[in-house]
Amino acid sequence: MNRHNIDFSSSVPVYRQVIQAIKLEMLSGRLQPGNQLPPIRELAKILKLNPNTVAKAYYNLEEEGFIESKKGSGNWVNYKNNKLDNLRMGMIEDEVMNFLERVFSLGATLEDVKNLIGRYVRK
């Protein structure tokens, strides 16, 4: 996770992008339940963000049930197993949708898509 993943000129709000990035970390296994998240200030410094933005991201993650904020000691990853799976599915679905939207705007047909997927998967 580095600041170049966070794109100011994206339609997605910055804090949402932070949430997304953290979720990716969780999905990839780099963040496990029980790990401590960087303090708000630290993450803000690394990403060159306003601490409020990070705070908002953490708050939302807590709302969504991915992390737990313990008073005095910071923020900790804590989620139930199936939550991650749901997330994964959700994200994969998002990716596919984005992919399809892009290729269809180029004028591809469903047939073209299926053929290409098959060719690349075999490889």
Partner 1 sequence: MSQEIINVKNLSVSMGKKKVLDNIDIKFERGESVVVAGRNGSGKSTFLRCLASVILPDRGQIIFSNGIAKDKIGFISDRLSLFEDSTVQQGIDFHSSVFGIEDFDYTLVNELKLELNQKIKNLSMGQRTLFQLSLLLSQKPEILLVDEIIHTIDPYLREKFLETVIDLMGSSQTTVIMVNHTFSEVEKIPERVLVMEEGQFILDERTETLRGKIKKVESFTPIPENIPCIFRRESEFYKEYFIYPFDERLKEKFPHEYKDINLNDMIKAFVGGQYVKERNH
Taking the C-alpha atoms of residue 74 and residue 2, their distance in angstroms, rounded to an integer, is 21
**Shortest CB 16 distance to partner 1, Å:** 11
Q: Given the complex with partner 1, which of 36 and 50 has the nearer CB atom? A: 50
Binding mask 16-55 for partner 1 (x = CB under 8 A): ------------------------xx--xx-xxxxxxx--
Under 8 Å between Cβ of 77 and 31: yes
Using CB under 8 A as the criterion, which residues of the chain lie in contact with partner 1 when the complex forms? 3, 6, 8-11, 13-14, 40-41, 44-45, 47-53
